[in-house]
Amino acid sequence: MTRPRTARIALNRPLRRLFDYLVPEPMTLTPGQRVKVPFGHQTLTGLVAEIGVEPPSGINLKPVQSALEDWPALPESTCKLLSWASDYYQHPLGECLFTALPPALRRGRSAEAKADQHWQTKDSGELPPANAHRQLALLTAIKNAPGITSSELTKAGFSRPQIRALKNKGLITECQDRGRTDADSNQNSTPGPQLSEAQRTAAESLPADTGRFSATLLYGITGSGKTELYLHYLKTHLHRQDQALVLVPEINLTPQTLARFQRYFGQRIAIWHSALTDSQRLDTWLKIRNGEPVILIGTRSAVLLPFTRLRTVIVDEEHDSSYKQGEGFRYSGRDIAVYRAHLNHCPVILGSATPSLESWHNAQQGKYRLIRLEQRAGNARPPSMELLDIRSRPLESGLSRPALSAIAEALDKGEQALVFINRRGFAPVMMCFDCGHMEECPRCDTRLTYHRRDRAMRCHHCDFQMAASHACPACKSDNFKPVGQGTERTEETLAGLFPDTPVIRVDRDSTQRKGSIQGILSQVNSGAPCILVGTQMLAKGHDFPNVTLATVVNADGGLFSVDFRAPEQMVQTLLQVSGRAGRGDKPGKVLIQTCHSDHPLLQALCRGDYPTLANQLLAERRAGELPPFRAMAIFRVDANTMQESLQLLDSIRSLIQGPGVEIWGPIPAVIARKADRHRAQLVVCSDSRKHLNRLLTQTCQQLDIRKLPASVKWAVDVDPQET
C-alpha cells in the first residue's frame, strides 16, 4: 500500500501552527500554491506550506478541496523570506504568508488576469465641447500615449464612463497592446540633469554588480540629489528584463518623486500602497508575480511581494519610522528589504540624510558600505541653522518676534516660509482658568485636542470626539480656554498677521480628502509667496525650491522623553525640516525655537553634521546597553484591568528569565489606558539575537497553549520602535 499523500497548509489565522490535509488523486501540489480546504464548517483559502509530510497516525485527515491555480501564487524565494520573517518577528506563518497576497487573492478570488483594454485615438468623430475639460484631457492623454490601458487611465484619475463616452463618440478605439512593459520600455524616457562631481563619485562607488548581495548606506544630506542618483543607478545597472523595488515611506506625500521616476522609466514604473483599489493591487501583484520587468515604487508591504527577477532594492528615507508596522505582523520593511536582497543575491541601497542609528552602526562596523554625499545638488547650499531661546520672550501663538520678522522678510523677497509644529488641531488642551479643569478623553489617559474648525474635542489616541463647549464642564465658568499650539491655531494667527499671503496648512486633517496633498504641493511649487504650516508631513522628502525659511515652533519635545529613541527621532525630524529650506538657488535659513538653547544636542545640531550627532547618540546607546548594541523585544499586553495586564506579564517574565537576558518591567505603558484597554509592557534584552529569538519562540509557544481570558491580548514586538 502506498502512503497517503498529504500537504501542510497555512491559513490566514493568528495561529502558530499549520494544518494537515490529504491530497486526493490526481491532484498535485507545490509549496506556495493556493488551495481551498474545509475548516470546521467553512471552506477557507489556504497556502501550501509543505508537501509529503508524514501524517500523524490515528487521525483522519480531510482532503484538500481544490487548487485555485496550477502554479504557486508565492514562489519559493518569497515563501523563504516570509518563513524567515515569521520566525524573526514571532508572528504566525499563515498570516505572514497571506500578507504577500493582494486582498482579492486572500479572499479566494481567481488570479487569472482580466484582460485590460488598450486605447488609441481615431481621426474622426465629433470633438467634445470646449467646456468638457475632462473629456478633452482624456483625449489628449490617449493621443500622447497610444495603447494606454483603461486601468492606467483610471489610475490617472479618469473614469470608465468617460472612456466609454469617447468611444461612443467614435473618438477612440481599442487597439493591440503595444507591449510597453517589455524590453524597449526604457527607451522612451527622458534623461535627467548631468550628475555633479560629487554625485558622480558617489555613483561610481555604488555596486556595479546587480547579481550579488551588497548593502550600501547612502548618507546624502537633504537636497544632495539622492533621488537623482537612484534614477541614474537603475538606468545604468538594471537590465531590461529585471525587476527593481524602491521603498518609500509614504507615496501620497511625495507625488513629485513618483513623477520623476515616471519621467525616467515611463510605463515600467508600477506603484504599491494601501490606497490602491483591490483590482489595482491585483493587477500590480500579477505583473510582479509574472516577472514583468517593473520598477515598483511602494510603501512598506511592497517588500513582501512575490518578485521573481528582483535585481535591485532601494530604501529611500531608510530612517523613517513608518517602515515599521506597529501592529499585527510587526515587521520592519527596511530590515526585511536587506534580508530580501541577501536571499535574492542583489544589492540593497539604503538612502537617508539622517540614517537610523542601526544603519549608521552597521556602516561603522563595516557591514554596510558607506557612501557620503555632502554637497547639495545644483546651486543649492546647506541652510544656516540658529537656535532662538524663547524663555521669557513674548510669543504670539507660540511664535517669537524674531521668527515673525524672519517670515515677513522672506515673504517680502517673494519667497516662501515653512512653519513646523508637531501637533494638529487648534490647541492640545482646553483648560478652565477658574477651577483648573482640563478636558480629558473618557476612554484614554490623555487630554482632548481642541479642533476649532469643527468645534470639536478629539482624542488623538482613539476615535472619541465630542462637541466643544464654551463653558467649563466642571464649574460652568466661561474662563475656559485653549492652551498651547496646534497647526490650526498657528495657521489662524499667521493668516491674521499676513492677510495678503496664502497660509497653507498641511496635516492629517487638511489632507484627508483624496488629491488634496497634490493640490497643496502644486500651489507651493508654483513658487508664489506663501506660508506653509504643518506637522511631520512637511518634513518628508518634499522638494520646494522657493522655500527659504523653516521655523520650528518648539524643538523640546524629544529632549526629555522616556523613550530611548526620542533624541534620535528629534534630531532626524529637525534636520529633515531644515532640509526643506534653501533647496533652490537661494540660501536657506532655519530657526529653531527652544527653551533649552544650551542643550548639547541642540547645539550640536546647529553646529554640525549628522555623522557627529549620530556618533554621539550611538555612544549614549552603547553606554546604556541599548539597541543597536543589544537585541530588544517588548511583550505588550492589554486587558480590561491593569492588574490582569501586569499579571500576565509577570508570568511571561518568569517564563523568559534566565541567563543571557535582561528584563525590565512589567510596567504600565506611557499611555496606560487607551480606548478603555489597560496596557502594560515587559522589555527583554539580550547580547545575543539568536538566544533572544530562541527564548521568544519558546515563550510564545507556551503562551499559545495557555488558557487566557479572551479579553487579555498579548503580542511580542521585536526590534520595537516605540518603548
Footprint of ligand ADP (CB under 6 A): 193-196, 199, 220, 222-228, 377-378, 543, 583
Note the Cα 221 to chain centre separation in Å. Answer: 21
Single out the residue of 38, 46, 42, 43 nearest to residue 73, CA to CA.
46
Residue 377's binding partner, choosing from Zn ion, ligand ADP, none, with beta-carbon cut-off 5 to 8 A by kind?
Answer: ligand ADP
Segment (H or E) for 210: none
Q: Where are the beta strands (DSSP E) in 428-583?
A: 429-432, 449-451, 456-458, 465-467, 480-483, 503-506, 531-534, 547-552
Closest distance to Zn ion from the beta carbon of 444 (Å):
3
Instruction: Give the range of 145-153, 175-183, 404-412, 473-481 binding Zn ion by CB under 5 A.
Output: 473-481
Which of 417, 459, 531, 591 is the binder for Zn ion (CB under 5 A)? Answer: 459
Residue 474's binding partner, choosing from Zn ion, ligand ADP, none, with beta-carbon cut-off 5 to 8 A by kind?
Answer: Zn ion
Residue 443's binding partner, choosing from ligand ADP, Zn ion, none, with beta-carbon cut-off 5 to 8 A by kind?
Answer: Zn ion
Cβ-based neighbours of 690, under 8 Å, separated by 6 or more? none
The three cell numbers of residue 468 are 466643544
In this structure, are residues 532 and 538 in contact, taking their beta carbons and an 8 Å threshold?
A: yes
Residue 432 marked as a ligand binder:
yes
Residue 462 marked as a ligand binder:
yes
**Torsions phi, psi for 65 (to 5 deg):** -75, -50
Which of 444, 457, 537, 592 is the binder for Zn ion (CB under 5 A)? Answer: 444
Residue 477's binding partner, choosing from ligand ADP, Zn ion, none, with beta-carbon cut-off 5 to 8 A by kind?
Answer: Zn ion
Residue 196's binding partner, choosing from ligand ADP, Zn ion, none, with beta-carbon cut-off 5 to 8 A by kind?
Answer: ligand ADP
Note the Cα 342 to chain centre separation in Å. Answer: 22
Which of 277, 477, 516, 698 is the binder for Zn ion (CB under 5 A)? Answer: 477
Residue 444 marked as a ligand binder:
yes
Cβ-based neighbours of 263, under 8 Å, separated by 6 or more? 189, 190
The answer to the question of residue 457 lying near Zn ion (CB under 5 A) is no
Residue 435 marked as a ligand binder:
yes
Closest distance to Zn ion from the beta carbon of 484 (Å):
18
Residue 227's binding partner, choosing from ligand ADP, Zn ion, none, with beta-carbon cut-off 5 to 8 A by kind?
Answer: ligand ADP
The answer to whether the bond into 26 is cis (omega within 30° of 0) is yes
Which of 411, 441, 530, 537 is the binder for Zn ion (CB under 5 A)? Answer: 441
Note the Cα 396 to chain centre separation in Å. Answer: 34
Name which of 209 and 585 has its Cβ closer to ligand ADP: 585
Name which of 545 and 627 has its Cβ closer to ligand ADP: 545
The answer to the question of residue 348 lying near Zn ion (CB under 5 A) is no
Q: For residue 450, what are the β-bridge partners?
A: 427, 457
CA distances from 573 to 356, 570, 589, 610 (A): 12, 5, 16, 12
The answer to the question of residue 438 lying near Zn ion (CB under 5 A) is no
In this structure, are residues 299 and 247 in contact, taking their beta carbons and an 8 Å threshold?
A: yes
Instruction: Give the range of 11-19, 120-128, 140-148, 475-483 binding Zn ion by CB under 5 A.
Output: 475-483
The answer to the question of residue 475 lying near Zn ion (CB under 5 A) is yes
Name which of 225 and 398 has its Cβ closer to ligand ADP: 225
Residue 444's binding partner, choosing from Zn ion, ligand ADP, none, with beta-carbon cut-off 5 to 8 A by kind?
Answer: Zn ion
Closest distance to ligand ADP from the beta carbon of 256 (Å):
8
Q: Which residues of 33-67 are buried (b: 16+ CB within 10 A; e: fewer)?
A: bbbebebeeeebbbbbbebeeebeeeeeeebbbeb
Single out the residue of 478, 133, 97 nearest to residue 305, CA to CA.
97
Q: What is d(CA 638, CA 515) in angstroms, rounded to the nearest whole number? A: 37
Closest distance to ligand ADP from the beta carbon of 427 (Å):
33
Residue 193's binding partner, choosing from ligand ADP, Zn ion, none, with beta-carbon cut-off 5 to 8 A by kind?
Answer: ligand ADP
The answer to the question of residue 443 lying near Zn ion (CB under 5 A) is yes
Residue 175 marked as a ligand binder:
no
Q: What is d(CA 536, CA 407) in angstroms, rounded to the nearest whole number? A: 20
The answer to the question of residue 432 lying near Zn ion (CB under 5 A) is yes
Residue 346 marked as a ligand binder:
no
Single out the residue of 289, 341, 249 nearest to residue 34, CA to CA.
289
Residue 223's binding partner, choosing from ligand ADP, Zn ion, none, with beta-carbon cut-off 5 to 8 A by kind?
Answer: ligand ADP
Q: What is d(CA 655, CA 215) in angstroms, rounded to the nearest whole number? A: 37
The answer to the question of residue 127 lying near Zn ion (CB under 5 A) is no
Name which of 506 and 553 has its Cβ closer to ligand ADP: 506
Residue 225's binding partner, choosing from Zn ion, ligand ADP, none, with beta-carbon cut-off 5 to 8 A by kind?
Answer: ligand ADP
The three cell numbers of residue 716 are 511580542
Which of 106, 437, 689, 713 is the binder for Zn ion (CB under 5 A)? Answer: 437
Closest distance to Zn ion from the beta carbon of 638 (Å):
14
Closest distance to Zn ion from the beta carbon of 177 (Å):
52
Name which of 237 and 458 has its Cβ closer to Zn ion: 458
In this structure, are residues 511 and 396 in contact, taking their beta carbons and an 8 Å threshold?
A: no
In this structure, are residues 82 and 304 in contact, taking their beta carbons and an 8 Å threshold?
A: yes
Cβ-based neighbours of 107, under 8 Å, separated by 6 or more? 45
Q: Which residues of 280-304 are buried (b: 16+ CB within 10 A; e: fewer)?
A: bbbbbbbbbbebbbbbbbbbbbbbb
Name which of 226 and 458 has its Cβ closer to ligand ADP: 226
DSSP letter assigned to residue 16? S
Residue 11's binding partner, choosing from ligand ADP, Zn ion, none, with beta-carbon cut-off 5 to 8 A by kind?
Answer: none
Q: Which residues are annotated as a binding site?
A: 432, 435, 441, 444, 459, 462, 472, 475
Q: Which residues are annotated as a binding site for Zn(2+)?
A: 432, 435, 441, 444, 459, 462, 472, 475
Site residues (vs Zn ion, CB under 5 A): 432, 434-435, 437, 441, 443-444, 459, 461-462, 464, 472, 474-475, 477
